[in-house]
Structure 1
Amino acid sequence: MSTATVSFAFRHPDKVKDDTKAKVLRVAEELGYVPSGNARSLAKGRTGTLGMYAFDMLLERPQGSNLEDDWPDVSPQIHRRASGR
């Protein structure tokens, strides 16, 4: 059985014959296999995550305040820039 068939059994089960899907799932369970989102991200070369550097913002904040308080204001701006809008 090909790697692609196994992948399809997990990611697109409607595109795999029922008997093939059953075999894949049975063997996966016997082996204790669980699909890894991290492995998928590595294979695709995309993680869908965004890192944010906010050191200056932290220095300018009053003691006891939380950067997360401003996240609702900052998040839409980041989204617009990342999506090119």
Structure 2
Amino acid sequence: MLATSHRFPDRFPKLAGQLFVAMRTGGEVGMEAIEWFNGGLFDSNAALQKAAERAWADIEPSILGTLFERGLDPEKEK
């Protein structure tokens, strides 16, 4: 998805929306099977829209990675 979006940035919103739907329900995006792993975060595309409106360039990528990993581990959610 990222490689395609890098070449064709205008396709990213549609692809990301499809990914959010698949994460909410399980399914496929392109040729990739996506397992359901939603805890409510992907119930609407509003979260994606709000995130897209933010300026993320100044945030260290490792911080976002840590937050994402902790969100996947119920023991570290808090």
Bigger share in helix: 1
Q: TM-score, normalised by structure 2?
A: 0.28
Bigger share in strand: 2
Q: TM-score, normalised by structure 1?
A: 0.26
